[in-house]
Chain A
Amino acid sequence: MSHTRVLPSLGSILARLWIRRLAVGVFVLNLLAVTWPIASLFRAAEPPVFGLPMSMAWPIAWIVIGWITLLVLDHFEKREEGE
């Protein structure tokens, strides 16, 4: 384990806090987006998205958004753990 960075800089602590809040925010938004009432705005099959009905493309899009969020969050957490 490297000991070059004993104290993390204030900037990195703030960045991490900010990213964590952002991640929580995205998942709250995710929950709201796929449940009533917001999901009812995307209830219809039309217009199709890449050949899929919009009602199906919408939750798929949120899986991808959730994945990207976790990747970004993990990138910052990993850096903090010094790995």
Chain B
Amino acid sequence: MEQWAVISTMILAYLGLTLWVGLRAGRGTSSTVDGFVAGDRNFGFLVMYFVTGATAFSAFAFLGGPGWAYSRGAAAFYILSYGVLGMAPWYVIGPKVARIGRQLGQVTQAQFLTGRFRSRGLSLLIALVSIAALIPYITLQMRGAGIVIEAVTDGQVPLWLGSAVAYGIVLIYVLVSGVTAVGWTNTLQGVFMIVIAWSLGLYLPFALYGGIGPMFEAIMSQRPELLELPGLTAAGAPWSWAGYTSAILVSAIGLTMWPHLFMKAFTARDERIIRRTVVWFPTFHLFLVPVFLIGFAGVLFVESLEQPDFILPHLILNVDLPVIVVGLFCAGALSASMSTGDALMHATASVAVEDGVRPFAHLSEYQQRLLIRVSIVVAGAVAYFFAISEGMSLVVLLLTSYGIIAQLAPPVLAALFWRRATTPGVVAGLLVGGATTLLFFFLPELKPIALHEGLFGLLVHVPVLIVVSLMTPAQDASVIESYINPPKHGAEVAGREATDWGNRT
């Protein structure tokens, strides 16, 4: 049998296993919106650990991580630096969000925010921002899956077909089992990612250089600039400390504000599980260490690759590895792509319906679930269209969306910790912060210093939020109280009445 046929068989076996797990997962979950979007708030620790880890690390980490280490060297270490910093505040915020969500029947981030800052416009604004940020993210995951499959099968399975098969399977299990499928498949995929990253990350330096120490000594003697902070830019010039530092800040602030991660607070069985997930997240984050080792292993072996993101497939295919290793690598990369892609597709559709449509039209539970499923297909189709069309600068789009997503942090913090925050203040802050971020993204020459555009957005956002809030009348005390001090054992709302907008007529 040809090598590519063996590898294709392994990929199919892996995809079959994922599908089986995803389909089985949905059994026992209620057929309600709560069940489909928030898994009946019944995720245990193991599933939450892998959902958080595998969702946070996407194809971007598995393919882009080695690519950064290979082409930009120490610049990649900013990713090591922001993860735990970004996750630690969730130890306090996550359980509080979960408690409020349980009491007020919320399943999305916009519902959480509009529960305190009541405005349909705000709900729609957050929905649009989220979808605009999530679609390029899904597209990247699909492309990642297609590229890997095309590379390891010698082009026998082209990108369009590889993406279609991998994401066809994601579509099936998400449609059937909702977020519960995301949970259980991410557990499987998370295990794959960790095991494969560590095995390859330790194996390659030994196979190519005789060890990790000798590998870095060799790089040190020939490319010392790669190992010195803050590393290089994509063009190969030295990166600035301002760029490196603000990338850490914006990423740390934005990390848990991504809708597909934020929403997972509503899936946890209890608050203790969220805390434990945060406590153990650093162990998942360390998975970046072998990922970077893989990238560094390529430095002296692969002559300047046009697209550094392909360093991993390139190395794998050119170092004469046993076919089983190539197949496993492929499964790892697909795991990374699909474990983020499924959560993204699910979140995009849930947000579109719950926050974009429901505030404006009355829908029955059945209609909501149906519409969410239809939206999953639409989101998948749109992303697939972008994934197979060439010439889209998606990585740039994704990096900007981090700046936009970070703008959701001030409203979330204000909702939880600042009594005087008001709806006009939050809306004004979001609009001004978002606009500033976009302005400096499109016209970077206007930047006074080389900081991340999202940081400029926040620097304008926060004062506007504070000033406009203070200029407008304070909110109803009972609403404020239910957010600042949510009762520990408050009554749960029957069904999801509290998230209704009163347009039942």
Contacts and interface: CB of A to CB of B under 8 A. Distances in A.
Nearest to B74: A55
Given A30-B84, A51-B211, A66-B88, A56 B276 contact: no
B275 A77 contact: yes
Report, as a range, how many residues of chain A touch the other chain: 35 or more
B280 to A, nearest CB: 8
B77 A70 contact: no
B236 interface: no
B248 to A, nearest CB: 6
Contacts of B88: 27, 66, 70
Given A36-B241, A63-B286, A70-B88, A46 B220 contact: yes
Contacts of A40: 229, 241
Contacts of B249: 35
Contacts of A64: 282
A55 B228 contact: yes
Interface string A4-46: 0000000000000000000000010011001111011011111
B212 A51 contact: yes
Contacts of B81: 34-35, 39, 59, 62
Nearest to A81: B272
A52 B81 CA distance: 16
A48 B228 contact: no
Contacts of A67: 84, 279, 282-283
A74 B276 CA distance: 8
Nearest to A28: B85
A46 B212 CA distance: 14
A56 B292 contact: yes
Nearest to B69: A56
A66 B272 contact: no
Given A40-B229, A46-B220, A55-B229, A63 B77 contact: no
A63 B229 contact: no
Given A48-B213, A51-B213, A63 B279 contact: no
A35 B248 contact: yes
A78 B85 CA distance: 21
Given A60-B286, A70-B279, A44 B228 contact: yes
25 contacts: A30-B84, A34-B81, A35-B81, A35-B245, A35-B248, A35-B249, A36-B230, A39-B229, A39-B241, A43-B229, A43-B230, A53-B216, A53-B220, A55-B74, A56-B227, A59-B77, A60-B286, A62-B81, A63-B84, A64-B282, A66-B84, A66-B88, A67-B84, A67-B282, A81-B272
